[in-house]
Amino acid sequence: MENLAVSGGAQPSRGFWEGKRVLLTGHTGFKGAWLSIWLGRRGAEVTGISLPPETQPSLFALARPDLRESHFQDIRDAARLAELVRSASPDVVMHLGAQALVRPSYQDPLGTFATNVLGTANLLEAVRSVPSARVVVAITTDKVYRNLEHAFPYRETDHLGGHDPYSASKAASEIVIASYRDSFLREKGVAVASARAGNVIGGGDWSADRLLPDAVRAWQSGNSLSVRRPEAKRPWQHVLEPLSAYLVLAERLWSDPSIGDAFNFGPISHEAAPVRQVIEIARASYGRGDVEYGDGTEGPHEAGWLALETAKARHMLGIEPRWSLAEAVDRTMKWYRAQNDGANARALCEAEIDEYEARP
């Protein structure tokens, strides 16, 4: 069943970000590049810290977001990271930097844990020495929960866990975030929250082992798309949905630090959809494309069913999804087709931000 968009809901303020100094880790990644563009349009002074873009092409290189400074720096280097954080003197910290893929985490578990756990601790430790900092929003994932494969959506109070190194490292980073908030940052007047969202789709993602980027690569080259787990259910959402939520959360933390906590962001919980449904929508939107569906046994362990309960974000922050699954997938495929036909990547992103903000 197609999920239905819910109109209304909180949107990022048009005045709040003007002149704010924002430190954004992971600014060269998919979500980081989109967020850099949006913050720049809001008048924020953004300092980015990240590894160089890991894909070719990359949205960061194509869109060239407006940044105050951009540093290619590994967040595992605590001393150098601390220097950059002090130099940026941020008002708001948005922490998106991570090793963000499940299958590569099996190949490099130590690197994944070092980046996602110690990298997060390094950043929060650096923030302790920055008098200007007032808000930290740390992005984790929907996969931080101990996945019981049950038919209930996960709430923020459910047990953390993780089978694969990526999920486990992100669950561990949640503990680090809570510890730094409770032990150090709250008493310094820094409001800290974690944001749990995942299965984000949208134009400009060229990472490996991501469903729609894999589909675009296969269909653009005339090949068949191989889908390992067609019946796996996930809380799919367009990239602008969680980014809007992160911005709204940061604004609310600024005005009310007491709400610092963990928040789930995603579609209404019963609207989690199987991979097969997403691919069929994508194929119809793209206009062509062969698919080979597997039986779900290929590759390392991945959760078969995952949904988030988002009532807390709705009630406390006024956040509602604005685009349906069908619209999110359709927009994603049209973005890739337009960019492949020569359209400017930044212009495509800015047009989509405008359309998102205009949705009543």
Q: Take residue 121 and report the two structure tokens written for it.
A: 């601790």
**What confidence tier does 301 reach under pLDDT thresholds 50, 70, 90?**
low
Please choose, from the candidates 126, 33, 44, the residue with its C-alpha nearest in 3D space to the C-alpha of residue 84.
126
Higher-scoring residue by pLDDT: 271, 36: 36
- For residue 245, the one-letter residue type is A
Alpha carbon of residue 53 to chain centroid: 16
Q: Which residue has the tokens 């929060």?
A: 124
Please state the rounded mean pLDDT for residues 151-172: 95
Domains along the chain? 21-201+236-267+304-323 (3.40.50.720)
**What confidence tier does 1 reach under pLDDT thresholds 50, 70, 90?**
very low
The Cα–Cα gap between 139 and 184 comes to 19
pLDDT digits (tens, 9 = 90+) for 34-69: 999 999 999 999 999 999 999 999 999 999 999 999
In the predicted model, is pLDDT for residue 231 greater than 70?
yes
Higher-scoring residue by pLDDT: 228, 348: 348
DSSP per-residue codes, 288-336: ---EEE--S-SSS---SB--B--HHHHHHH-----S-HHHHHHHHHHHH
Q: Count, in order, helices (H) and strands (E) of the chain.
A: 13, 13
**What confidence tier does 3 reach under pLDDT thresholds 50, 70, 90?**
very low
**38, 292, 353 from 24: Cα distances, Å:** 12, 39, 19
Q: In this prediction, what percent of the chain has a pLDDT beyond 90?
A: 85
In the predicted model, is pLDDT for residue 237 greater than 60?
yes
Q: Which residue has the tokens 């995952």?
A: 306
